[in-house]
Amino acid sequence: MLELLLCSMLTIFPDYLFRRYVQDKRIGREITFYSVWFELRWGITACLILTVSLITLIFYFHPATTAVTAIFRTTIILPETSGRVAEVFVGLNDKVEAGQPLFRLDSSQQEAVHESARRTIAEVDAATEVARSELAVADGQIRQAESAHRDALAELETKTELRRRNPNTVSLRELERLRDVAEGQQGAAEAALANKQALQTKIASLLPAQKATAEAALVQAQVEIDKTLVRAGVSGTVQQFTLRQGDVVNPMLRPAGILVPAEAGRQALVAGFGQIEAQVIRTGMIAEVTCIGKPFTIIPMVVTQVQDAIASGQFRPTDQLIDVTQTVRPGTITAFLEPLYAGGLEGVPPGGSCIANAYTNNHDELASDKLGTPRWLFLHIVDTVGIVHAGILRAQALLLPVQTLVLTGH
C-alpha cells in the first residue's frame, strides 16, 4: 500500500490535478468512475507498473524475512555412569554456576574398589619392607656360605698337602669327600648371591611396578567416584529437573534434566532469507530487527555470517534412493545476525521470534570515479528505496502488539 501511494503521487495524482484545475473538470460530472479509468488509464497503468517495479526493487536489494529466531543450544544434565541418586543439591529453575554440584549418585561400589586399591598399595609397601629385611638376611647367608667355602677349601688344601707328604696319612676317599664339600659350599655361596640379586631386582623393579599398578587402580577408582558427582558444565538455569533421591539415572535412556546456558540465544539471531536473495545477502550488511518479546523496539544488527549450504538439500545415506521430488519445498539462505551495539539483544528471550530487514549499501561503489551515470543513478535509487523498507519495518513494530494481542486473540 505504501509503495502504491508513493507511485500514485508520481502518476495518478499529477494527472488528476491537471484535469481538475487545468481542464476544469469536476468530480461527479466530467470525472466519473468510467472517465477516471478512461482518462487516467495511462497514469493508472504506469502507477501499477511502477509499484510492482518498486516493490521488486525494494524486496530484492533490501530483503526481509519473518523467519528470525534467537536459536540456542541446551546442555543435557547427564552423568557419565548409571546409578541411583543419593543426594540432590539444586532444584527446578535454580541458577547455577559452572562447576557447581547438581546431584550425586550412590558411590558405595566405587568406594569399595578405591579402598581395595588403597590396601593393595599398603600391601606392596609392606612387601617392600619385608624384601629389604630378606635382603639383609641374604647378605648374612652370602657371608656364611663364603666362610664355609673358605673353610672347606682350607681343609682340602691341608689334607692334600699331608697326602703329598705321606700317602698313608689321608685316604683318597677323604680327599674326594672334601672336594665335594668345597664344591657344595661354593654352590651355596652362588645360590645366596643369586637370591640377593633376585631380592634387589624385586625391590628395584617388581615391587615399584606393582605399586604403580595399584596407584593407577587407586586413581581410576577415584575417577569413578568423581563421576558419581555431577556438576554443571556451564553457568545457566536448570530446567525440567525433577530428580529425587532414589531415582535411577541412565546416561543412555534417562537424563536428569536440561541446563540452559546463561548466554544462550543472547549472542546472535539466525535468519532464513529466500533463495532469490542468495546474490544479495553478504557478510557485513546492516540489518534491523523487531522482536515479539521486545515490542516497539528496532534493534540494529549486522550480518556476520552467511551459510553457504541450504539445509533442504541435505540427505543421509540409507537403503533407499533419494527422490528429488521429496524436497519440493525450497529451503532458505541462513544468515547469522549479531547486534551492532553491545547489549542489543537484552530483553529478547532466547528462542524468541523476530522480523528482520537487511539493507544493501552501495556507498563504496558510489564513491568510485569510474562509475557510469546510469549505474550511479541506479545505485542511488537502490540505496534510497531502503528508507521505504525501513519505514515498513517500523510500521510492523507498531502493529505487531496489536496484531498479536487483538487480531489473533493471543
| Domain boundaries along the sequence of the chain | 1-60, 62-72+265-313+326-410, 75-105+229-261, 108-214
Mean pLDDT, rounded, for 220-237: 87
Residue with cell 568406594: 111
Q: Could you tell me the pLDDT band of residue 58, with boundaries at 50, 70 and 90?
A: confident
Q: How far apart are CA 39 and CA 22, in angstroms?
A: 14
Measure the CA–CA gap between 354 and 324, rounded to whole angstroms. Answer: 32
Better-predicted residue by pLDDT, 141 or 10: 141
- Contact at 8 Å (CB) between 273 and 332? yes
* 19 vs 299 pLDDT, higher one: 299
Cα distances (angstroms) measured from residue 107 to each of 81, 86, 110, 246, 394 = 11, 8, 5, 13, 60
Calculate mean pLDDT across residues 20-27. Answer: 70
Q: Which residues contact 28 (CB under 8 A, 6 or more apart)?
A: none
Identify which has the larger pLDDT, 10 or 55. Answer: 55
Strand partners, 198: none
pLDDT at 327 over 70: no
Region for 65 from its dihedrals, namely left if φ exceeds 0, alpha if ψ lies in -120 to 50, beta otherwise: beta
> What is the residue whose three cell numbers read 501511494?
5
State the pLDDT confidence band at 289, using cuts at 50, 70 and 90.
Answer: very high
Confidence of residue 175 (pLDDT cuts 50, 70, 90): low
Q: Which of 47-61, 152-166, 211-225, 258-272 has the lowest mean pLDDT?
A: 152-166
Q: 108-214: which CATH architecture?
A: Orthogonal Bundle (1.10)
pLDDT at 336: 92
Give the CA distances from residue 223 to residues 78, 106, 227, 296, 405, in Å, rounded to whole numbers and listed in that order.
16, 14, 6, 53, 55
For residue 124, give the nearest of 200, 193, 21, 213 by alpha carbon.
213
Contact 232, 259 (CB under 8 A): yes
CATH number among 3.40.50.450, 2.30.40.10, 3.40.50.2300, 2.40.50.100, domain 75-105+229-261: 2.40.50.100
Q: What is the pLDDT of residue 9?
A: 67
Chain centroid offset of residue 99 CA: 17
Predicted local confidence at residue 237, as pLDDT: 87
Q: How far apart are CA 289 and CA 359, in angstroms?
A: 12
Q: How confident is the model at residue 250 (pLDDT cuts 50, 70, 90)?
A: confident
Q: How far apart are CA 48 and CA 304, in angstroms?
A: 37
Among 292, 294, 303, 298, smallest CA distance to 337 is for 303
pTM: 0.67
The chain-wide mean pLDDT, for the chain, equals: 80
- Asked if residue 94 has pLDDT above 80, the reply is yes
Q: CA angle, corner 245, sides to 241 and 249, nearest 5?
A: 65
| Cα–Cα distance, 67 to 76 (Å, whole number) | 27
Task: Grade residue 6 by pLDDT with cuts at 50, 70 and 90.
Answer: low
pLDDT over 90 at 302, yes or no? yes
Distance, CA of 288 to CA of 266 (rounded, Å) = 16
- Specify the CATH number of the domain 62-72+265-313+326-410: 2.40.30.170
Q: Where residue 161 falls among pLDDT bands split at 50, 70, 90?
A: low
Q: What is the pLDDT of residue 34?
A: 66
Q: Over 80: is that where the pLDDT of 361 sits?
A: yes
pLDDT (mean) for 250-275: 82
Range with lowest mean pLDDT among 97-106, 325-334, 340-349: 325-334
Indicate the range of 56-60, 175-179, 246-250, 315-319 predicted with least confidence: 175-179
pLDDT for 316 beyond 80: no
Mean pLDDT of the region 230-243: 85
Closest by CA position to 376, among listed 363, 389, 387, 385: 363
**Rounded mean pLDDT, 212-229:** 88
Greater confidence, 64 or 264? 64
